[in-house]
Amino acid sequence: MKKIRFVLLLILVVPVLAWAEPAATIGAEERCPVCGMFVAKYPNWVTQVRLADGTVRSFDGMKDLLAYYFQPARYGGKEGAVREIWAKDYYTLTWLDARTAYYVVGSDIHGPMGPEFIPFASEKAAQAFARDHHGKQELPFAAITEALVDTLRTGRHMRH
């Protein structure tokens, strides 16, 4: 009976673990589907989504990923297809589930295309960064709106 439970556990957990990390490598020619920039040039800022079909899309920052998230059809995607969202913690550069992260907006630190949503694994880290870098807001993912994304993207639309 214990063997059966163990096998069932493996059957259920292994597929989840296979989806628990973003893509390990990003090709030198891979472009952000929103702005067209070469993503590999900005490894500290790379963000990714995994779609329902397993496809991974990479972005040059959280701002463009969020533009895609809110309007995937505008950038060649499909509504409801985003299954996972990944960002790198600004301080540790470790991948984290972007939906559980906290973001600082309006700081004196800019990403490859100017003002950016700066991701952190904890609210405490986001607050400390905001104090040190004049951040205007610290937000959980759920509080980010399409209107806020648009305010950060104004004047920086490269491809569309």
**Any idea which residue has 């998230």 for tokens?**
69
Tell me the pLDDT tens digit for each residue of 105-152: 999 999 999 999 999 999 999 999 999 999 999 999 999 999 999 999
Question: Chain centroid to CA 155: how far?
Answer: 21
pLDDT at 20: 55
- Quick one: pLDDT band at residue 159, thresholds 50, 70, 90? very low
Characterize the bridge pairing of strands 102-105 and 82-88. unpaired
pLDDT at res. 131: 98
Is 2 buried (19+), middle (13-18) or exposed (0-12) by CB count in 10 A? exposed
What token pair was written down for 144? 């980010």
pLDDT of residue 1: 56
* pLDDT greater at residue 5 or residue 124: 124
Give pTM, 2 decimals: 0.83
Q: How far is CA 76 from CA 7, 41, 71, 73, in A?
A: 40, 23, 9, 5
pLDDT of residue 155: 63
**Separation of alpha carbons 41 and 123, rounded Å:** 28
Taking residues 155-160, report their average pLDDT: 51
pLDDT tens digit sequence for 53-65:
999 999 999 999 9
User: What are the residue boundaries of the structural domains of the chain, listed by start?
Assistant: 2-153
- Please tell me the predicted confidence (pLDDT) of residue 24: 64
pLDDT in tens, 65-103: 999 999 999 999 998 899 999 999 999 999 999 999 999
Residue-level pLDDT at 2: 55
How confident is the model over 38-52, as a mean pLDDT? 95
